[in-house]
Amino acid sequence: MTNAVKMRDKLVPIAQNLISISEVTVNGAKVFRVRFGPITNVTLADKIVNSLGLYGVYDHYVTVN
Give per-residue pLDDT as tens, 4-60: 999 999 999 998 899 999 999 999 999 999 999 999 899 999 999 999 999 999 998
Residue 3 banded pLDDT, cuts 50, 70, 90: very high
Q: Hey, what's the torsion of the CAs at 19, 21, 26, 30, to 10 degrees?
A: 160
pLDDT on residue 57: 93
DSSP one-letter code for 41:
S
Do residues 48 and 11 make contact, with C-beta atoms less than 8 angstroms apart? no
User: pTM above the 0.75 mark?
Assistant: yes
pLDDT on residue 16: 84
